Every structure is written in structure tokens, then in C-alpha cells.
Amino acid sequence: MSEQKIALVTGANKGIGYEIAAGLGALGWMVGMGARDQERREAAVAKLRAAGVDAFSVPLDVTDDASVTEAARLIGERGGRLDVLVNNAGTTGNAPQMPTTVDVETVRAAVETNVIGVIRVTNAMLPLLRRSASPRIVNMSSSVGSLTLQTTPGAEVGPISAAYSPSKTFLNAVTVQYAKELRDTDILINAGCPGYCATDLNGFRGVRTPAQGAAIAIQLATLPDDGPTGHFFDDAGEVAW
């Protein structure tokens, strides 16, 4: 029997992250569910455990060094390694986000969670990922972060935003740099776009279900060893950076 895989999903207590955890759990994987809000996190873990998933709770604030260090210790204690990291936690930040009037703190907060948080968590988990036979990192991005789409007349890229969209562009750029540095390792790192899903993030205005949004992350989390690295995908295939 093959060894049980272990994954960490950040922002797993609701929305798309919860469904990513459910999907990986349904494959028989052990899933660490990371998020800040304790009550929501414990409820999410209990719900998945009741459904037969080997889920466990990971108190995690991606903006906090000590919290991330402790999360890495907890994962190490569970499995001694990490097979998959899904950097899903994210925030749109406060409104309004028109570039000419935005509060710089709004920009800072989006970048702190959506970019620096990803770097902080990834680097803390790398020693554990390096112990996996097939390590995968999935960064949940968004097509609104695509500069190609943002500059294509008529493309659907949401409202003008000086914080959220650029934070995902930054995340995409960081994903490419990780892929370049890790090119000669077994680690595959890619960005995924879930599509416009009905979650708290957008006041449930999205047109897809969180489970539909989770599908691309699950696909990138389970790539074969000869799979791509340093690319950006949605359900329809490759997304232009």
C-alpha cells in the first residue's frame, strides 16, 4: 500500500479552500486545514472528519511569522514531510480600490496576505516539501492578475483595482521566480485560477460553486512528476500571464 499523502491548504475553513481540502481528503490524503478563525476552522475540520476525511486543524495566520513557524512544526509532527502546499488564503482588501484614491494601507494589506503570506508559508514549508517524493505547490491566483487579460480590450477582468488585482499579478510573478529557482528539484509550482465563484470574498456574487473553483487546485496538486511548473492554469487550460 502506498504511503498516505499529506497536504496543507491555507484558508481552508470556508469557500474554495474548504472544497480543496474536501477534494484532496476524498483521495485518501491527510489534510491540514489552515486558517485564522478558530471556530470556523474547527467546524470545517469536524465536518470533513464526519465525512471520513483525515483532516486536522492548523491554526494559521499567513501574515504572522510565529504562526507560520508553529504551523510548520505541527505539520512536521504529523507527517515528517509535506507533499502538497496549496496557498489558497486570500483577501480582496477594503474598498474602494481606485488607483487615484486608494488608501495605501489597503494595498499593503492585500500584498501582505496574497503575496508576502504566500512567500512566508512556502519558505517555512519548503524543508518539509523537500522530503516528499512528489512535492507540489499550488498558488491560488486569479485571472484578474493577468496583465495580458487586463490589457486586452473587452476581456472580463472585474472592476478597476489598485490592490487585489495587482497583488495577484505580483503573486504570479513570484510563482515564476520560484519555478525558476526550483527547476532542478522535484517541486512543481503553478498558479491556478478558480474562476468567479460564489464565496464570502465577493459577497457570494460568483457564478461558479466553490467546488468548481477547487477543481483546478486539485488538478495542480496531483500533477504527475513530468507535469508543468511555472505556469498559470484554469479549467480551460493555460492562462496568459
Which x/- pattern over 165-194 shows residues binding ligand NAP (rule: CB under 6 A)? Answer: ----------------------------xx
Residues 6+ apart with CB under 8 A from 203: none
88 binds ligand NAP (CB under 6 A): yes
Q: Which residues of 107-146 are buried (b: 16+ CB within 10 A; e: fewer)?
A: bebbbbbbbbbbebbbebbbebbeebeebbbbbbbbbbbb
63 binds ligand NAP (CB under 6 A): yes
Among 6, 7, 11, 29, binds ligand NAP (CB under 6 A): 11
Nearest CB to ligand NAP, comparing residues 17 and 166: 17
Residues 109-128 that bind ligand NAP (CB under 6 A): 113, 117
Q: How many residues does the chain have?
A: 241
Among 5, 7, 9, 10, binds ligand NAP (CB under 6 A): 10
90 binds ligand NAP (CB under 6 A): yes
Residues 204-233 that bind ligand NAP (CB under 6 A): 206
60 binds ligand NAP (CB under 6 A): yes
Task: Find the angle CA(63)-CA(66)-CA(68) to the nearest 5 degrees.
Answer: 60
Q: Which residues of 190-206 are buried (b: 16+ CB within 10 A; e: fewer)?
A: bbbbbbbbbbebeeeeb
Q: For residues 3 and 5, give the distance between their C-alpha atoms in angstroms, rounded to a whole number.
A: 6
Q: For residues 56 and 46, give the distance between their C-alpha atoms in angstroms, rounded to a whole number.
A: 9
Hey, which residues are catalytic here? Answer: 164, 168
Closest CB 79 distance from ligand NAP, rounded Å: 20
Residue 185, all three cell numbers: 528539484
Residues 6+ apart with CB under 8 A from 47: none
Nearest CB to ligand NAP, comparing residues 16 and 239: 16
Residues 6+ apart with CB under 8 A from 234: 143, 192, 193, 194, 195, 216
Task: Find the angle CA(62)-CA(162)-CA(115) to the nearest 5 degrees.
Answer: 20
Nearest CB to ligand NAP, comparing residues 193 and 220: 193
Nearest CB to ligand NAP, comparing residues 129 and 140: 140
Q: For residues 9 and 203, give the distance between their C-alpha atoms in angstroms, rounded to a whole number.
A: 22
Residues 15-54 that bind ligand NAP (CB under 6 A): 15-17, 35-37, 40
14 binds ligand NAP (CB under 6 A): yes
Contact positions vs ligand NAP (CB under 6 A): 10-11, 13-17, 35-37, 40, 60-63, 88-91, 113, 117, 140, 142, 193-194, 196-197, 199-202, 206
